Amino acid sequence: MMYTVAELAKLINGEVEGDPNVEITGIAKIEEACPGEMTFLANPQYERFLETTQASAIIISNDQKASGKTVIRVPDPYLSFAELLGVFYPPEKAPDPGIDSSAHVSENAKIGKNCCIGANVVIGSDSSLGKNVIIYPNAFIGDHVVIGDDTTLHAGVSVRYGVRIGSRVTIQNNSVVGSAGFGFAPKETGDYEKIPQVGNVIIEDDVEIGAGCTIDRATLGATRIEKGVKLDNLIQVAHNVVIGKNTVIAAQTGISGSTEIGERCMIGGQVGFVGHIKLGNGSMVGAQSGVPKSFGDGSKISGSPAKPHREELLIQVMQKKLTDFYKRLDLLEKQIEEYQKKGNER
């Protein structure tokens, strides 16, 4: 598959500087690209490769200095790169519609048109699949589950009783949706009474869930993942959590019960949220933060315990100086002792 730079620029509404007739056969990383390939520059850390890259063309921002090579200028190089990846590397072909002979589909389950149900899939009683749904091998769908159109469940996914999944949702391998929430009431005897988790999970349209995620059903009501949310791998979402529209969360983050994450938030990896707090819309949370309390709209927080990002940066700077401060304090104390000693001798 080959395109000219001019053809690619048209696809991403970019402006060409240099030779528009250069032919491109693929996309590669800026430090690894070969002649005939296109690359992009979105992170200033890679700017040093502009002069040395072997790429035949580079996608850069409107205000980026050119390197003398053929470039396509766009407002957002990373977004344009993502768009062109789909041109050179189309999604894998969907399996043919049909139900594998080894699958077990309940007699009263409703299966929409053009669905593909793979080997060893189990679909429970009174569950409903929309049209064009793909269920890869060894997935489990419990009773009374509803799945919308054009949704894909990869191999090993488990969707438990009563879960509702919208349209155009993707769930990667071995994620579990609708497992029992972590609820135990302490008793006077020192042991625990398990609290029945009788709610469900609602996943709205256009959500993507990575591999190995666990999303617990609510104690009462619903655990809700709103439209457009993107979850990385190995994320724990506890009972009654709400994640607002178009929020993105990186790997190994854990969200405790009844916490509400606002819309359009960006959360780094390995973040921990305590329960029963709220994070406002449009907030950003740095990686490995421990969030112990609520924060309002537009918050930028980091650290453990999490605090405003600027405050955390100041603390980190001061921590690096502690050894020097200690040495200076120790010297001052010795000087004061000497001064006092001389004063007493008089």
For 204-258, write each residue's pLDDT tens digit.
Answer: 999 999 999 999 999 999 999 999 999 999 999 999 999 999 999 999 999 999 9
Of 104, 239, 276, 309, which one is the catalytic site residue? 239
Instruction: Looking at the structure, tell me whether residues 60 and 120 fall in a common domain.
Output: no
Domain for residue 93, yes or no? no
CB atoms within 10 A of CB 190: 6
Is 141 in a helix, a strand, or coil? strand
Q: What is the pLDDT of residues 275-330, one digit of tens each?
A: 999 999 999 999 999 999 999 999 999 999 999 999 999 999 998 988 898 899 98
On whether the CB atoms of residues 111 and 117 are closer than 8 A, the answer is yes
Residue 239 annotated among the catalytic residues of the structure: yes
Instruction: Looking at the structure, tell me whether residues 83 and 195 fall in a common domain.
Output: no
DSSP code, position 294:
-
Domain for residue 251, yes or no? yes
Domain for residue 228, yes or no? yes
Instruction: Looking at the structure, tell me whether residues 270 and 340 fall in a common domain.
Output: no
Instruction: Looking at the structure, tell me whether residues 291 and 207 fall in a common domain.
Output: yes
Instruction: Looking at the structure, tell me whether residues 34 and 169 fall in a common domain.
Output: no
User: Number of C-alpha atoms within 13 angstroms, CB side, residue 89?
Assistant: 7
Instruction: Looking at the structure, tell me whether residues 254 and 216 fall in a common domain.
Output: yes
- Rounded distance between C-alpha atoms, residue 247 and residue 245, angstroms: 6
Structurally, the chain folds into a number of domains equal to 3
pTM of the model: 0.89
Counting DSSP H helices and E strands in the chain, the numbers are 4, 40
Domain for residue 122, yes or no? yes
Instruction: Looking at the structure, tell me whether residues 170 and 278 fall in a common domain.
Output: yes
Angstrom distances, CA of residue 38 to CA of 25, 63, 84, 86, 91: 8, 19, 10, 14, 19
Instruction: Looking at the structure, tell me whether residues 155 and 295 fall in a common domain.
Output: yes
Instruction: Looking at the structure, tell me whether residues 79 and 164 fall in a common domain.
Output: no
Phi first, then psi: give them for residue 47, nearest 5 degrees: -60, -25
Domain of residue 75: give its range: 3-88
Instruction: Looking at the structure, tell me whether residues 19 and 83 fall in a common domain.
Output: yes
Instruction: Looking at the structure, tell me whether residues 151 and 264 fall in a common domain.
Output: yes
